[in-house]
Amino acid sequence: MTELFLVRHGEVHNPSRLRYGRLAGYALSEQGRRDVESCARWISSRGARVRAIVSSPLERAVETADILRAELSLQCEVRADPRLIEAESRFDGLRYRADFWGHAKRWLERGHADEAPALVASRMREALRSIADGTRDAAIVVSHQLPIQYLQVSLRGVATVRSWHRRPRCETASVTVLAADGATLRVREYWQRA
């Protein structure tokens, strides 16, 4: 059995309050860096033998992985896995709730759709299974809110994951601990800073 520490990246510096999704150029805030350091201390307290660290290729996730690697004095390199990337959204680049017409226009545009939650959950499961197959002890995996939440919904046994399903907590710099046993993944624990 492999233990996977599925970490949501730390808080992002986003003074314009944009939906940044897959957009480049969004790094961690100072608070986000401190929160990731707290996350590292919690993972360290677990006594797990972490042998791998894998991250979404987006800047904020890679930065989170680099902080975790340094804080935990891990000897392995951070690997990027595109399957861990944020869910694709037609609303990237728009302000939260402040741009009503922009949201309405993008909602109606053809060829501009969101990535299906079931596909997000499927690619996350595939990525986590391959990471677990590659290590015998523990691994840290850094991803984003929606992919982590859609994965958790799918692990509840829901036939088809939908965007309107009630999603579990997933705060920035939080950890969802998973047990991977062959093709089986199950949630063991959730941690977020106090």
40-99: pLDDT as tens digits = 999 999 999 999 999 999 999 999 999 999 999 999 999 999 999 999 887 777 776 666
Q: Assign residue 127 the CATH number of its domain.
A: 3.40.50.1240
- Report the predicted TM-score, pTM, of the whole model to 2 decimal places: 0.91
131-174: pLDDT as tens digits = 999 888 999 999 999 999 999 999 988 778 877 677 888 999 99
Domain span at residue 167? 2-88+115-191
Residue 27's contacts (CB-CB under 8 Å, 6 or more residues apart) are 12, 13, 59, 60, 63
Determine the straight-line distance between the first and last CA of the chain, rounded to whole angstroms: 29
* Residue 76 covered by a domain: yes
